[in-house]
């Protein structure tokens, strides 16, 4: 199986290309493939599919395309290849081995080619990489701005690779081949000056000087006509070399002169010191004689040594190379403590050192160090000494030294690495002044001020993928030892969270104990109470690195961070964060923003944050109030109540608040059912963890309330493993001594067991629920329990008994004015009458239920089921026309509102009357959506 972006967006299998369908579906797949193995939020997918205002049902359209992609991938046995399209909260993730993606293989080959010393090896790798292209990137996708930008980025990398391939041919002396490669691309991209300059150099070296000059004048005219500009320095240099007919040695000498800072256009000095060759007509003429500048000192190299055991990071290295392109770029490499920012930048700098003939400067700004930050003048003094300034000539003021530093950089092509910066102001006076200088800054903070003031280009660095984590362990411990315990190595990498610092500390411990196994180390790290201490060695470790980061935080952010460690779940929004810290949502959001800038939390969605596992363990050890858990549980209880009310408006509250309830400053509000159901889906795991934490703390009243408050999602996704949390809720209700709660949980658990086909277990709970609710004085709960019991009775072949229970439930609900439950009871009663063949009773019951409210007041799902029952009854009573009318209306409404259960039932009834191909297609589509959802 192969996923393709380099050409038409497609999925190739052994039996052919999958029929992806319309452009919007291809666009959705492309957006997922551009970030494989990472959650892609729905809003980002929306931006990829629609340029302007998306349609009202955009989320449904996206869900439909995702469902169809899942069906296509499932039909192609994608799971065999490790491919899975999954939902993660409000985002989708295409999990896959990245080696199946042509764009990933292309970037890997290009990265490998750049590191080859032998040009023949580089040529082979570049050719293999470029052979993956089958046309313009992302062909067939909708031309939205995000996808056009991604396609352009891939095209830029392809063109750069073509130039590099030509350079490798030239190093082999194959100048004609280099010219042939470049001519096609230069013709297709006539305004790309680097291509034209490279082609001119290749033609000159191949002895085709006239062609080189002709290509220059052709390009010059085109630039003037199309853009109104003159050729840039690179193209003008190539023209001057061709004009002089220079051989390769002279060409290198000319380039060295430019790097050393000779000004103006390309010149050659005559014996009198005047320009012997003028610049081409399109550039400004040099009228005054030029003087050769004083000889500059040998290029300085202050870089730390090449990091040992560095592995992977191909994407980050590529991103850093892209960020370093252009005029005087400032690259900002950011990431959490211990993620390997310094190693990445040092490795990249060593690999690209030949691009900086003017020198390589490095300073550790110690922004997160116990030893304190160096003074600005101290750093500048080291730089100036390296650039050849005599000690007595170095200014005594920082501002003057900074000005001298910028002037000395003006004509140099050098790299400045500013490591471990704490703040933007620490960096600004150290930025070089040359247009050909590159500055790389590393920081645990995002340094947004530097982005705003100096257009710094962010290069985020995240934790390592499992394969790269295992390779890092192998670099320290040896390949044989790691491969002998491959599964244990992956487990070890998982426990270290892919954090290079943690992996190196774990590897250091193992290297010290050659007889110890990786599996044994993994078992030790699995103990959360010991994990951080095991990942410290001497003065190095995760805990020490995090302590230095947290120490720099403002008080409000540090307070918030300490309380995040007590959160039983994995994600927080601003309301949950406020409840944890005992603050308000605005203050919590500001603190979370500060923590995100320090890479202590990760923003996964506009109002959703999480912590790395090791960071969470560190935060858990900080001081926080003893009442934090109660606050967060009470916030959770109130929020599930609000979600249930929004999901099922008009329903009576499923429980009262605890007697000792502590109201939070604010809770999330929901605008309607869809938003509430999305929240349930995103928060399900965290809600379960909150209930578990409440049970462990003996807070039984909070335990069952949190689980019971999830009932709209339980009903919507009944076959989704709800038995364990409901069983825990039942135990909690009994421990809390709340008969009303016990009856309601019994009824819900019994219904879930019925849907799972575990009827004998279901009956035990369902038969106990109605009398318990009656003794607790809960007619609403008793009516619901009777309805749920009727479903199990019907499944066991007793429709008359089931009908009797539903009739009792309808009467109970009617007596207390609970129209929702009465309508539900009548709906199931109509269904039981249908199953018993009592067509007239089914018809009359469905009519009575529909008459309880106006159509607008009746919930859509109930209205659809009632109209379906009415239609089935009419068909059975020989009123086929009236029955089909009701069934068709029910089916269309179900399809329109996304109620696939109702659509399947109504369309199935229609197919029994009329086996129409169109109806069959609609039924199959609804079934596929339902299967994908459940």
pTM of the model: 0.60
How many percent of the chain have pLDDT more than 70? 93
Best CA proximity match to 340, nearest among 360, 361, 320, 370: 320
Q: What is the pLDDT at residue 854? A: 77
The pLDDT score that the predictor gives to residue 134 is 92
> What span, in angstroms and rounded, lies between the C-alpha atoms of 659 and 738?
13
Q: Are 751 and 784 in contact (CB under 8 A)?
A: no
3-state helix, strand, coil in the chain (%, to 5): 60, 5, 30
Question: In a 3-state reduction of DSSP, which class is residue 439?
Answer: strand
pLDDT score recorded for residue 306: 83
- CA 243 – CA 262 distance, rounded (Å): 19
Under a CB-based contact definition with an 8 Å cutoff, are residues 743 and 778 in contact?
yes
Average pLDDT, the chain: 86
Over range 683-698, report the average pLDDT: 95
Contact 691, 640 (CB under 8 A): no
Beta strands 438-443 and 330-334: pairing type? parallel
pLDDT tens string 51-94: 878 888 888 899 999 999 999 998 888 888 889 999 988 899 99
Residue 572's DSSP bridge partners are: 609
pLDDT tens for residues 590-607?
999 999 888 889 888 888
Closest CA to 859 of 904, 899, 916, 814: 899
Digit-coded pLDDT (tens) for 534-574: 887 766 778 888 888 888 899 999 999 999 989 999 999 99
Residue 182 Cα distances to 188, 194, 248, 699, 929, angstroms: 10, 10, 19, 72, 50
Q: Per residue, what are the HEC states of 499-547?
A: CHHHHHHHHHHHHHCCCCCHHHHHHHHCCHHHHHHHCEECCEEHHHHHH
* Dist CA 338 CA 348 (whole Å): 18
Q: Does residue 295 surpass a pLDDT of 70?
A: no
Residue 61 near residue 69, CB atoms below 8 Å: no
CA–CA distance, 711 with 780 (Å, rounded to integer): 15
- State the pLDDT at residue 538: 64
Please enumerate in sequence order all residues whose Cβ is within 8 A of that of 210, keeping only pairs 6 or more positions apart, or say none: none
pLDDT for the residue numbered 739 = 95
Cα dist from 689 to 54, 378, 612, 662, 822, whole Å: 35, 52, 17, 20, 34
pLDDT in tens, 116-148: 888 888 898 999 999 999 999 999 999 888 899
| pLDDT at residue 270 in the model | 30
Q: How confident is the model at residue 533 (pLDDT cuts 50, 70, 90)?
A: confident
Rg (CA), the chain: 35
Q: What is the pLDDT of residues 13-53, one digit of tens each?
A: 888 899 998 899 999 999 999 999 999 999 899 989 988 78
Q: Tokens representing 884?
A: 């089909």
How far, in Å, CA of 111 to CA of 117, rounded? 13
- Say if CB 113 and CB 126 are below 8 A apart: yes
The whole-angstrom separation of Cα 203 and Cα 246 is 12
Q: What is the pLDDT of residue 859?
A: 75
Instruction: Determine which helix (DSSP H) or strand (DSSP E) holds 361, and give its type and residue range.
Output: strand 359-364
Which of 343-347, 668-672, 688-692, 858-862 has the lowest average pLDDT?
A: 858-862
The predicted structure's pLDDT at residue 253: 44
Output b/e per residue, 4-36; b: 16+ Cβ within 10 A.
Answer: bbbbbbbbebeeeebebeeebbbbbbbbbbbeb
Q: Where are the beta strands (DSSP E) in 387-530?
A: 414-419, 438-443, 457-460
Q: Which of 229-233, 263-267, 473-477, 517-521: highest mean pLDDT? A: 517-521
CA dihedral sign, ordered 195, 200, 204, 210 = positive
pLDDT digits 0-9 by tens, 178-236: 999 898 888 888 888 889 999 999 988 888 888 888 888 888 888 877 777 778 888 87
Looking at residues 744-765, what average pLDDT do you find? 94
Task: Specify the higher pLDDT residue, 589 or 191.
Answer: 589
E-assigned strand segments in 594-707: 602-605, 608-610
Give the model's pLDDT for residue 934.
Answer: 55
Are the C-beta atoms of 712 and 640 separated by less than 8 Å?
no
The pLDDT of residue 284 is above 70: no
DSSP 253-309: HHHHHHHTT--SS---B-TTSSBSSPPPTTS----S---PPPPPPPPEE-PPPPPTT
Q: Which of 857 and 264 is assigned the larger pLDDT?
A: 857
What integer is the mean pLDDT of 289-299?
Answer: 38
Q: Are 290 and 263 in contact (CB under 8 A)?
A: yes
Contact assessment for residue 804 and residue 779, using Cβ atoms and an 8 Å cutoff: no
Q: How far apart are CA 563 and CA 622, in angstroms?
A: 8
pLDDT at residue 286 greater than cutoff 80: no
CA distance 589 to 595: 10
């Amino acid at each position: 199986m192969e996923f393709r972006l380099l050409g038409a967006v497609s999925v190739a299998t052994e039996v052919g290309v999958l029929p992806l369908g319309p452009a919007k579906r291809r666009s959705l797949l492309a957006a997922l493939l551009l970030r494989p193995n990472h959650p892609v939020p729905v809003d980002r997918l929306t931006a990829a599919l629609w340029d302007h205002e998306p349609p009202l049902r955009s989320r449904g359209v996206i869900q439909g395309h995702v469902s169809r992609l899942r069906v296509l991938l499932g039909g192609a046995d994608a799971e065999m290849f490790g491919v899975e399209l999954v939902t993660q909260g409000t985002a989708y993730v295409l999990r896959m081995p990245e080696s199946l993606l042509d764009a990933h293989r292309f970037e890997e080959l290009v990265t490998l080619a750049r590191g080859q010393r032998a040009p023949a090896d580089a040529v082979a790798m570049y050719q293999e990489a470029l052979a993956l292209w089958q046309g313009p990137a992302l062909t067939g996708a909708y031309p939205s701005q995000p996808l056009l930008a991604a396609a352009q980025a891939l095209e830029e990398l392809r063109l750069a690779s073509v130039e590099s391939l030509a350079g490798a041919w030239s190093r082999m002396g194959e100048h004609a081949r280099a010219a042939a490669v470049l001519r096609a691309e230069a013709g297709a991209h006539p305004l790309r000056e680097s291509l034209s300059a490279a082609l001119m150099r290749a033609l000159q070296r191949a002895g085709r000087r006239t062609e080189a000059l002709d290509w220059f004048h052709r390009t010059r005219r085109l630039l003037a006509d199309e853009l109104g500009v003159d050729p840039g320095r690179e193209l003008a240099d190539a023209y001057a070399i061709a004009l002089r007919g220079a051989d390769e040695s002279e060409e290198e000498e000319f380039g060295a002169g430019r790097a050393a800072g000779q000004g103006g256009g390309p010149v050659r000095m005559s014996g009198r010191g005047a320009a012997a060759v003028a610049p081409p007509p399109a550039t400004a003429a040099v009228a005054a004689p030029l003087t050769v500048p004083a000889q500059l000192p040998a290029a300085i190299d202050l870089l730390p040594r090449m990091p040992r055991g560095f592995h992977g990071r191909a994407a980050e290295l590529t991103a850093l190379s892209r960020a370093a392109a252009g005029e005087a770029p400032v690259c900002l490499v950011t990431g959490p403590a211990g993620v390997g920012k310094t190693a990445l930048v040092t490795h990249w700098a060593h690999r690209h050192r030949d691009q900086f003939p003017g020198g390589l400067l490095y300073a550790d700004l110690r922004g997160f160090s116990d030893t304190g930050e160096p003074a600005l003048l101290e750093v500048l003094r080291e730089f100036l000494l390296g650039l050849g300034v005599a000690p007595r000539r170095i200014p005594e003021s920082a501002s003057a030294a900074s000005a001298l530093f910028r002037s000395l950089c003006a004509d140099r092509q050098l790299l400045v690495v500013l490591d471990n910066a704490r703040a933007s102001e620490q960096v600004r006076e150290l930025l070089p002044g040359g247009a050909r200088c590159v500055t790389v800054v590393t920081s645990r903070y995002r340094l947004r001020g530097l982005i705003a003031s100096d257009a710094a280009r962010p290069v985020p660095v995240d934790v390592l993928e499992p394969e790269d984590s295992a390779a890092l362990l192998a670099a320290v411990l040896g390949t044989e030892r790691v491969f002998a315990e491959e599964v244990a190595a992956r487990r070890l990498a998982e426990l270290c969270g892919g954090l290079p610092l943690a992996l190196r500390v774990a590897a250091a411990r193992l290297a010290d104990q050659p007889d110890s196994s990786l599996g044994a180390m993994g078992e030790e790290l699995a103990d959360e109470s010991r994990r951080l201490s095991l990942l410290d060695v001497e003065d190095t470790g995760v805990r020490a690195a995090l302590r230095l980061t947290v120490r720099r935080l403002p008080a409000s952010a540090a307070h918030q961070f300490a309380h995040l460690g007590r959160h039983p779940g994995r994600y927080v929004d601003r309301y949950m964060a406020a409840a944890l810290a005992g603050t308000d949502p605005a203050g919590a959001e500001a603190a979370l923003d500060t923590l995100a800038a320090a890479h202590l939390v990760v923003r996964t969605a506009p109002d959703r944050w999480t912590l790395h596992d090791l960071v969470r363990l560190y935060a858990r050890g900080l001081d926080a109030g003893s009442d934090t858990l109660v606050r967060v549980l009470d916030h959770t209880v109130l929020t599930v109540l609000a979600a249930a009310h929004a999901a099922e408006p008009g329903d009576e509250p499923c429980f009262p608040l605890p007697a000792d309830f502590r109201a939070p400053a604010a809770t999330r509000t929901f605008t309607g059912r869809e938003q509430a159901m999305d929240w349930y889906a995103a928060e399900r795991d965290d809600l379960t963890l909150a209930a578990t934490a409440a049970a462990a703390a003996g807070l039984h009243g909070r335990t069952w309330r949190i689980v019971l408050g999830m009932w709209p999602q339980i009903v919507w996704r009944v076959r989704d493993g709800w038995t364990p949390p409901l069983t825990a809720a039942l135990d909690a209700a009994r421990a809390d001594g709340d008969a009303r709660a016990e009856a309601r949980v019994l009824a819900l658990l019994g219904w879930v067991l019925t849907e799972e086909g575990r009827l004998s277990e279901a009956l035990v709970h369902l038969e106990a629920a109605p009398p318990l609710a009656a003794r607790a004085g809960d007619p609403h709960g008793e009516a619901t329990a009777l309805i749920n019991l009727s479903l199990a009775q019907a499944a066991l072949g007793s429709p008359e008994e089931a009908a009797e229970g539903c009739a009792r439930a309808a009467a109970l609900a009617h007596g207390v004015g609970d129209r929702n439950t009465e309508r539900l009871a009548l709906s199931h009663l109509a269904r039981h009458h249908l199953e018993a063949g009592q067509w007239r009773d089914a018809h009359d019951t469905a009519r009575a239920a529909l008459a309880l409210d106006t159509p607008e007041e009746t919930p859509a799902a109930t209205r659809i089921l009632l109209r379906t029952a009415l239609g089935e009854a009419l068909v059975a009573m020989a009123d086929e026309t009236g029955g089909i009318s009701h069934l068709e209306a029910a089916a269309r409404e179900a399809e329109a509102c996304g109620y696939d259960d109702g659509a399947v039932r109504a369309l199935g009834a229609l197919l029994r009357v009329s086996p129409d191909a169109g109806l069959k297609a609609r039924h199959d589509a609804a079934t596929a959506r339902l299967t994908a959802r459940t």
